[in-house]
Amino acid sequence: MAEDRGILREVWEGKVPVSFTLSAEEVSTYEHPESCYLLVPRHSYFPLFLDKLQKHFINYVNGDESDVWLENTNTNQPIKWHYPVGVLFDLLNSSHSLPWNLTVHFKNFPDSIFRWNNRDAIESHFMSCIKEADALKHLGKVISGMQIQHHKQLWAGLLSDKFEQFWAVNKKLMEGDGDESFKSIPFKIYQGDSRHIQKLFKPQNERGDSKTLRDMIQEVAPECFDENGELNQKIITHGIEMPLESDIIWLSEHLSYPDNFLHICLIPLE
């Protein structure tokens, strides 16, 4: 049961400072624009902030405003903005320098990211993630039993950053199916810039005991442990290292992103 509101609220209120700078090559005026500084909620998505960026930079470029894309300034890699902001931050800004520097481009849209310039597309992506997670947890019964207005309420809560509005509905998704807890845990494990790992993982063993985070890492990504059973990777979600003894169902209930997935980043030790 997702009852620990203290935790939930702390998680919800996580924000990262981001500095958006217009790519120097694309500036068409003699005056260079100021960088745009924003506090972006970790559970949000970058495409939702494109409006502000366009407004800020549009007077300084010649490019098509629909071709806006973002680049990680340190690594010169395009930002795959279909992942939540927090995940991207934990994964890409491993040096943890604040604020996070991103470069804004209006030209040469790369092929490796989705062209998301309207909110319906993001919404449908978000909803499909929720449905996928529910399919893993409850075989899709809860989300398909909901009315369409509740679906809308989830998205509206995320958009307007309203904790109560979102959790009023999301609560139901985080409840077990009667006495039974979740069928399996919806999670995605990220390692570097390669594709994420996603496997079926039951939260209980044959005896009915709850599994811990350690159990899951051992089962899904055993290469994270060396011969002595010591971790050789940092296990990070929401910007913090997770205790390995944490109960996996509790983690899923409290530390999932709004799309109902546990997004876990494996960051190598120094």
Partner 1 sequence: MAALTWRNTVYLKLQERNNSEREQYRTVIESHCKLYDITENLKKKTATLTDDINRLRQENLELQRNVIEGGGRSDKQLEQKLLKAHEELKDLYKKRGENAQALIDLKEELQIKEKDILSKDLRISELESRLNAVKLANEHLESDIAEKETTNTILKDELMGLQMAYTKAEEKIMKLDKENKTLIDRWMNLKKEAAEDLNKENEMFRKRKQEKLKKDIQDAISNPVEIKEGSIHAPSGLFAGALSRIPSRAIAKFDAHDSEVFGLKWAPSGKYFATVGGDKQVKTWEKIGSSIEKKALFTPCFNRSVTSVDFDEDEKCLIASSNDCSTQIWDLSTRQLRVRLTGHENKVHSSKFVSGHGINKVVSGSQDKTIRLWDVANKLCSRTFCPGSTCFDLVAYGENIISGHFDGKIRIWDSQAQDSMTNIPLENKTKLLTCSRDHCLKITDFRQNRVIITLHDDNFRISNDCSRAVFSPDEKYVLAGSNNGQIIIWNIAKQSVEYRSEKEHKGAIQACSWNPNGDGIISCDLKRGCILWGDF
Residue placing its CB nearer to partner 1 in the complex, 48 or 135: 48
Does 7 interact with partner 1 (rule: CB under 8 A)?
Answer: yes
**Residue 243 binds partner 1, judged by CB under 8 A:** yes
The torsion angle over the Cα atoms of residues 112, 113, 115 and 119, rounded to 10 degrees, is 170
Question: Among residues 92, 143, 255, 264, which is the contact residue for partner 1, using CB under 8 A?
Answer: 255
Annotate each residue in 131-170 with x if it binds partner 1 (CB under 8 A) or - if it does not, as one string.
Answer: ----------------------------------------
Which of 117, 184, 218, 246 contacts partner 1 by CB under 8 A?
246
Interface region with partner 1, contact rule CB under 8 A, candidates 34-42, 145-153, 170-178, 200-208: 34-42
CB of 24 to partner 1, least distance (A): 19
Out of 99, 184, 197, 218, point to the residue binding partner 1 (CB under 8 A).
99
267 binding partner 1? (CB under 8 A): no
Question: Does 11 participate in binding partner 1 (rule CB under 8 A)?
Answer: yes
Query: Residue 263: what residue type?
Result: H
Q: Which residues bind partner 1 (CB under 8 A)?
A: 4, 6-7, 10-11, 13-17, 34, 36-39, 98-99, 238-243, 245-247, 250, 255
